[in-house]
Amino acid sequence: MNIITGRSGYRSLLRKLIWCALLWIVTGLYLCSASEIPITIFHSNDIHQNLTPLARMAGYVAEYRKHHPEAVFIDAGDYFDRGSSLVSLTRGEAIIGAMARMGYDMAVLGNHDWAYGDQRLRELLDMYPGFTLLGSNLGTAKGSLPQNVPKVLIKEFSGIRVGFLGITLDSYGKGGQTRPWLYILDCMESTREAIAALKAGKVDLIVAVTHLGFQKMHHETKSAHPSDVDLVKRFPDIKVVVGGHSHTSVDESVTRQVYKETGSIIVQCAASGAELGCLKLYINSQTRAISSFEAKHIPVDDSLPEQPAVAAFIKQQYREYMPKAKIIVGEFREDVEFHNLAYWYSDFLRDQAGADIVLLPRRSIYDEPTIFFKSRITVERLFSYFYDHYLIKGVVKGSDLLAFCSAAERRDRFNPFHHRGRPFSGDAIFYSGLTATFNKADSCVNFGIVPDKEYSLVVPWPFSDQDISSYRHKLPARADVKMKNVVPGLAFRQTTLLPETTREILVREGEAKCLVFNRKYVEPLPDWDPWTKWFESKYK
C-alpha cells in the first residue's frame, strides 16, 4: 500500500515538473519573441516669435528621420507674442509659415497665440492646411472647426497605436462670446472626452500635448486649470505629457522622479527655441507598454544643420516685410525701466512733432518688459518695443486739458507706476510738457496746466483702448484714420495727421544718428511712492 502511494506521489510530482518545464519554455519563447519598439518624440514649446532657431531645429529632426522614421515632432504652444517683430508685421504668418515647413506633426495653442485675434488664427489655419493643431478643448461659435484642428490624433509606429490629445489653458475667460472663431472649453472635461475617444480607437499609449505648465506659476495659484503634474494624477491613462507654458527646462532626473511617483512621463524645454527636446520611448511589442525611456535636451546652435525650405521662407519674409531688420539704430547705455522708456519716448515724440505737450498711452510700448537691458538695438528689436502709430496734432484749451487730466477716473493713470500690477496694467498715461505732482496732504494732483492758455498737443493714434485693440498690429490706410474724437473726453481743434508714423520717425532718426535711450528719472520723485500707495489702497 505504501509502495503504491509512493508511486502515485512520484507520478504526480513528475507531472508537475513537466508542466513547470513547459511553462518555462513557453515563457522563454514569449520573452524571446517580444521586442522593444523605439518611438522618438521631438518637442518644442514657447518659441515666442523667435525665428532664429527654427531652421536648425527642423534640420536636426529631418536628418534624424532619414535613419529613424519612427519619430514625431510636436510643439506645445506659444509661438506668438514677444520675440521678432517681423512676426507682428505679418500678423503671425512669418512663424506659422515657417512651422508649416518644419515637419511638425502637431501643435497646440498657447495662451499668447490669440495675440492677433481668433479670426486671424482661423485665417492662418486656412492658409496652411498642413499645419495640424490639436484642439481637444477648442470650440467655435461660427461654423465648424477647420479640417486641420482635430480633437484627437492617432499615429501608428511599427504596429503600436499612439493616441494624442491637445489641451490648453481655460482660465483666461476665452469664451465663444468674445472669441467666436476659436475659443477654449473646460480642459478637465475635454481631457476626459478625448481619452474616451482614444480608447475607443484602441490605442496602446496616450500622449497629452499641453499648454498648462509643468507646475502652476506664482500668479496662477487660484486659476482653474491644472498643471501637467495635476493632470496625470487625475488621468492616469495619460502616460506621456509634452508640455509648455511655464518655460520649465525639465531635467531628465525630474522626469524620472515624476514617473516614479505617478507612472507618467512629463517633458518640457526652456523657452525661445534655445533647446529641442528629445524623448525616446521603448515600447514592449507584446505588452504594448513603455519598458524604458530616455529624455534629453539638445542645444539649438550653429552646430545643427539648417532645413533649407525653412531658412529660405524666413529670409523671404525679411526681404518683403523688414529689409532693414538688422541695421543698428539705437543703444541702451544702461538698463532702462519701463516708465523711463515711456518718458523718453514722450519727450522724443514731442521734439519730433514740435508740440507743447504729448500724451502717451501705455500700450504705445510693448506691454510686458519691466526693464530694457543695456544693449545695442536693431530695427527688428526697435519694432518689438514700440508699436506703430499715426501721430495726430491739434490745439486744446488749457481748461479742457486740465479737466481731462483731473477727472476722477483718469488722474491716477498719470502716476508713473500705474502700469504695475494687474488691476492697473493697461491704462497708464505717460506725458511730456506737463507735470503731475501728487499732494499727500489733500490727495490732489497738480498738472501745471494754465487754464486760459492754448496748447499744441500730439497724441499717437490709436489712443483709446477700443482703437488700440483694433489697430495694434496693422494700421489702416491714412484715409481711414478717425480724426474726430481722437482722445475720448478731450476736444481737439485744428487737427492734423502728421506725415510719418512713429516707427518711420524712429528709424529715420536712428539711421541718421544712433538713438540713445536713457533714464529721465534715475531715482523716483518724492511724491511717487505716497501717490502709488494711495491709489493702490483706493482700488483694493
d(CA 274, CA 298): 9
d(CA 431, CA 369): 19
Retrieve residue 501's grid coordinates: 508714423
| Contact call for residues 468 and 399 (beta carbons, < 8 A) | no
Pairing between β-strand 371-372 and β-strand 336-337 as defined by DSSP bridges: antiparallel
pLDDT, residue 66, reads 96
Picking from 149, 251, 272, 167, the residue whose alpha carbon sits closest to that of residue 213 is 167
Picking from 288, 289, 290, 252, the residue whose alpha carbon sits closest to that of residue 268 is 252
pLDDT, residue 427, reads 84
φ, ψ of residue 207 to 5 degrees: the values are: -115, 130
3-state secondary structure of 39: strand
Picking from 344, 343, 339, 328, the residue whose alpha carbon sits closest to that of residue 369 is 339
Give the domain 34-319 fold: Purple Acid Phosphatase; chain A, domain 2 (3.60.21)
Picking from 251, 262, 123, the residue whose alpha carbon sits closest to that of residue 181 is 123
Give the angle 519-525-531 at the CA atoms, nearest 5°.
125
Task: For the chain, give every domain's residue range.
Answer: 34-319, 324-538
3-state secondary structure of 206: strand
Burial level of 513, CB count in 10 A (0-12/13-18/19+)?
A: exposed
Q: In Å, what is the CA distance from 222 to each residue of 111, 226, 234?
A: 17, 10, 18
- Write out the H or E segment, with its range, that includes residue 4: helix 2-33
| Contact call for residues 438 and 411 (beta carbons, < 8 A) | no
φ, ψ of residue 377 to 5 degrees: the values are: -125, 125
d(CA 399, CA 209): 58
Q: In Å, what is the CA distance from 341 to each residue of 97, 334, 442?
A: 33, 11, 30
d(CA 270, CA 249): 4
Q: Which residues contact 29 (CB under 8 A, 6 or more apart)?
A: none
Picking from 269, 273, 271, the residue whose alpha carbon sits closest to that of residue 297 is 269
d(CA 127, CA 123): 6
Cis-peptide, bond into residue 369, ω within 30° of zero: no
pLDDT, residue 4, reads 40
**Within 13 Å of residue 302, how many CA atoms lie on the same side as its CB?**
0
Q: In Å, what is the CA distance from 248 to each residue of 1, 74, 169?
A: 78, 16, 16
d(CA 296, CA 253): 10
Distance of CA 341 to the CA centre of its chain: 24
pLDDT, residue 58, reads 98
- The tens place of each residue's pLDDT in the chain, 540 residues long, gives 343 445 555 566 556 656 555 555 444 444 445 699 999 999 999 999 999 999 999 999 999 999 999 999 999 999 999 899 999 999 999 999 999 999 999 999 999 999 999 999 999 999 999 999 999 999 999 989 999 999 999 999 999 999 999 999 976 667 888 899 999 999 999 999 999 999 999 999 999 999 999 998 887 877 888 999 999 999 999 999 999 999 999 999 999 999 999 999 999 999 999 999 999 999 999 999 999 999 999 999 999 999 999 999 999 999 999 999 999 999 999 999 999 999 999 999 999 999 999 999 998 998 777 899 999 999 999 999 999 999 999 999 999 999 999 999 899 999 988 877 655 567 889 999 999 999 999 999 999 999 999 999 999 999 988 788 778 778 999 999 988 889 999 999 999 999 999 999 999 999 999 999 999 999 999 999 999 999 888 776
Give domain 324-538's CATH architecture.
Alpha-Beta Complex (3.90)
How does DSSP assign 166-192, residue by residue? EEE---S---TTT-SSSEE--HHHHHH
Retrieve residue 411's grid coordinates: 488722474
Retrieve residue 75's grid coordinates: 510643439
How does DSSP assign 150-162, residue by residue? -SEEEEEETTEEE
Would residue 410 be called left, alpha or beta, if left means φ above 0 and alpha means ψ between -120 and 50 degrees? Answer: alpha
pLDDT, residue 30, reads 43
In this prediction the pTM is: 0.87
